[in-house]
Amino acid sequence: MHLKTIAAFVAATVGVQAQVQINEIFINPPGSDNGMEFIEFKGSANQSLSGLHLLSIEGDGAAAGTIDMALDLGSLSLGSNGLLLWRDSSTVLTPAPASATAVHVADFNPDIENGANTYIIVSGFSGAVTNDLDTNNDGVLDSTPWTSVVNAIGLIENDSANSNISYAVALGGISYGPNAGFNADALVRLANDANILFGGDVSGTSPGSFPFIGELTAFSSGSNVFGDIVGTAELTPGSENFSAVPEPQEYAAIAGVLALGAAVWRRRANRA
């Protein structure tokens, strides 16, 4: 992590949509996916999701652009803390959701697919599952059967065998990956900067907890901007996400900058 990324933590967040966002998604739980997958949404307190759908658009090979999943969110609302947890099983995952979080239990059909995918929240959806929105697989959507895109995130798989596409950046969102050596099991927005999307490998068994293992990397507007984070990070289904902090060497760098600034100020003060 570099000092310029630390500045991003303390600067005011720019361009974060006030509307509902995909806040956390567990794509590939260890072992069998069923019973542990979840998607968490974040927005304003008690916000209605009337008129909205969550779509998953395939990004792998010849199937790129196909709508794999379309979830109707219209009957749902966010909790009083602005969070909604959609999980595929009645099993309460650890850590348990905050008491103010709205919880919806329904099996994902099909399961959330591993690999390259784009997840978007849209209003006015008029398409259907299996529609091919990118008929020539060039990474540009040829049709957009919705009125507007509310939010978008994408995962680009580390897979040289297929072309891997994310449509998220073109739709105003963030694309994560590819990463050498691993494909992210989960994607999480930072609590202290929703423009930053973290991902990594996840361990654990049902009902959790599900800590990240190894290096965590993050992307913002399609660019890899972070390395490791300090401390232990885990998935938080239905609770506030983790925040990233500078690594120890960066604390030293910040202290050095502050000390230099104080010395300059003292010299100027002594001259006055």
Residue 150 is assigned to a structural domain of this protein: yes
**Which residue, 110, 102, 105, 100, is CA-closest to 78?**
102
Give the total number of structural domains in the chain. Answer: 1
Residue 259 is assigned to a structural domain of this protein: no
Residue 260 is assigned to a structural domain of this protein: no
Residue 251 is assigned to a structural domain of this protein: no
Residue 266 is assigned to a structural domain of this protein: no
pLDDT digit string, tens, across residues 42-93: 999 999 999 999 999 999 989 999 999 999 999 999 999 999 999 999 999 9
Residue 97 is assigned to a structural domain of this protein: yes
* Domain that residue 76 falls in: 3-245
132 secondary structure, DSSP code: B
Distance CA 33, CA 25 (A): 12
Residue 34 is assigned to a structural domain of this protein: yes
Q: Which residue has the higher pLDDT, 20 or 33?
A: 20
pLDDT digit string, tens, across residues 144-203: 999 999 999 999 988 776 789 999 999 999 999 888 778 899 999 988 888 888 888 999
- Gyration radius (Cα) of the chain, Å: 20
Distance CA 24, CA 83 (A): 10
Distance CA 60, CA 137 (A): 9
Residue 94 is assigned to a structural domain of this protein: yes
Q: Is the dihedral of CA 218, 170, 113, 137 positive or negative?
A: negative
| Prediction pTM value | 0.82
